[in-house]
Amino acid sequence: IPAPRHVILEDWVDHLDERWEGGRRSVALEMIGPVLDTPGHVFVQGPGAVYIIPAAAFDSPAEKQAFATNLEEMADKWASTLDGSDD
């Protein structure tokens, strides 16, 4: 079972950048799957991993919801650009 770890997750225009003590990973937004916003967490499906972001990482529930909505919209946009369905 994976253990929780303290990370810094940065939301860029075209990718998520995750940094932790001793490591770093960038995930292109087109590789992001569904984003689920729940009262306690935001769940983000990435390639081979699920990001679980606690609500406490956000200043407010509205900020959490905006992050989740924007991330899913941007991921869909990047994926449609790559598969040509953005016409």
**pLDDT tens digit sequence for 32-78:** 989 999 999 999 999 988 899 999 999 999 999 999 999 999 988 88
Of 60 and 81, the structure prediction assigns the larger pLDDT to 60
Give pTM, 2 decimals: 0.83
Contact 78, 85 (CB under 8 A): no
Q: Using a CB cutoff of 8 Å and minimum separation of 24, what contacts does 22-28 make?
A: 28/78
Q: With beta carbons less than 8 A apart as the criterion, state whether 68 and 26 touch.
A: no
Q: What pLDDT does 62 receive? A: 97
